[in-house]
């Protein structure tokens, strides 16, 4: 079989995709970058103010808190979501009875809209009729009940639970698929050598599955950086500003405060965070390999 040799005219086939990419990504991003350097209310003429929006933004306490909060969100979500998914995927890896059924059950929340999931959790967190507080009272743990989404000490962590639960099934399916592609001969040899389950996971499964785990980490963290809908629906950034993340802070400044230049600057920071993490993580893991 002959080797395919690309020719210059083959690049023409890339033009439709490249045109879409330029129109729907590069163009809007460049426009957002331009807006971030202006003072604009979305109605009147914009005025160029250079990097004033960025200087103001990094001095703003609510922005600083939102930035710390979104980094904390990314860390908690990545560690818990991928950790739980790895554990469950290992259980479902074997061809045990009901494995396909449980994979489907775990995946169901992924295909439900985040708005519906959030409304379900709003009811579950309700102080009087919510499942969480009702279960605590029935177990004799009434002292641990809270107004979960209405108290500053609990609202942020209660909100994190929702995307972790909803997105868990996607990572379980990805990791199960990766685990099923691992050679059984390696596990059989390790068992003959006396390796226990933990040693097999740590020294065989995780190293061989690491490229897939890397992709899951990048997807989880980048999703956390741009998270908007969960916080907006569950708490709208409250109580006070205790649950604001960068995306809701951007929305509040741009669409509520009509400061589109300032909001665009926040959007650029969100994009930069995702890019820096992805490039840094890939560079770090490539060096380790």
**pLDDT tens readout for residues 58-84:** 999 999 999 999 999 999 999 999 999
Q: What is the pLDDT of residue 235?
A: 94
- What does each C-alpha distance from 243 to 158, 229, 237, 273 come to in angstroms? 10, 12, 5, 19
3-state secondary structure of 20: helix
Q: What is the pLDDT of residue 276?
A: 93
CA distance 289 to 282: 11
Q: What is the pLDDT of residue 2?
A: 56
CA distance 152 to 127: 15
User: Is residue 95 pLDDT above 70, yes or no?
Assistant: no
Q: Mean of the pLDDT values across residues 93-114?
A: 82
Please state, rounded to an integer, the average pLDDT across all residues of the chain: 89
CA distance 84 to 95: 19
**pLDDT tens readout for residues 200-250:** 888 888 889 999 999 999 999 998 998 999 999 999 998 988 999 999 999
**pLDDT tens readout for residues 40-55:** 998 889 999 999 999 9
Cβ-Cβ contacts under 8 Å for 74 (sequence gap 6 or more): 220, 221, 224, 225, 277
**pLDDT tens readout for residues 148-171:** 999 999 999 999 999 999 999 999
Beta-sheet strands, E only, within 18-174 = 38-39, 47-48
Q: What percentage of the chain has pLDDT greater than the value 90? A: 61
Domain extent listing, the chain: 56-288
Q: What CATH number matches the domain at 56-288, 1.10.3720.10, 3.40.50.720, 3.30.300.30, 3.40.50.410?
A: 1.10.3720.10
CA distance 66 to 280: 22
* pLDDT bracket for residue 130 (50, 70, 90): very high
Highest mean pLDDT among 116-120, 203-207, 277-281: 116-120
End-to-end Cα spacing for the chain: 34
pTM for the predicted model, two decimal places: 0.87
CA distance 165 to 81: 8
Q: Between these two residues, 228 and 100, which has the higher pLDDT value? A: 228
């Amino acid at each position: 079989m002959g080797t395919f040799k690309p020719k210059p005219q083959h690049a023409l086939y890339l033009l439709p995709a490249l045109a879409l990419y330029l129109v729907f990504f590069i163009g809007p991003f460049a426009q957002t970058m331009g807006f971030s350097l202006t003072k604009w209310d979305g109605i009147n003429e914009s005025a160029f103010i250079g990097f004033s929006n960025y200087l103001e933004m990094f001095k703003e306490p609510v922005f600083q808190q939102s930035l710390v909060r979104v980094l904390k969100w990314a860390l908690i979500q990545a560690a818990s979501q991928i950790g739980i998914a790895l554990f469950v995927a290992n259980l479902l890896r074997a061809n045990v009875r009901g494995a396909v059924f449980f994979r489907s059950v775990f995946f169901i929340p992924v295909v439900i809209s985040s708005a519906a999931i959030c409304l379900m959790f709003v009811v579950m967190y309700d102080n009087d009729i919510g499942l969480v507080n009702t279960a605590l009272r029935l177990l004799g743990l009434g002292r641990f009940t809270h107004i979960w989404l209405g108290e500053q000490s609990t609202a942020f962590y209660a909100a994190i639970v929702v995307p972790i639960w909803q997105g868990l099934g996607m990572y379980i399916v990805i990791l199960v698929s990766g685990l099923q592609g691992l050679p059984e001969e390696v596990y059989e040899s390790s068992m003959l050598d006396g390796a226990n389950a933990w040693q097999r996971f740590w020294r065989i499964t995780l190293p061989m599955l690491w490229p897939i785990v890397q992709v899951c980490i990048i997807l989880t963290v980048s999703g956390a950086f741009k998270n908007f809908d969960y916080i907006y629906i569950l708490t709208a950034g409250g109580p006070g500003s205790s649950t604001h993340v960068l995306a809701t802070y951007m929305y509040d400044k741009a669409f509520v405060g009509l400061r589109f230049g300032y909001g665009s600057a926040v959007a650029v920071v969100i994009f930069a965070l995702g890019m820096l993490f992805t490039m840094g993580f890939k560079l770090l893991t490539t060096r380790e390999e």
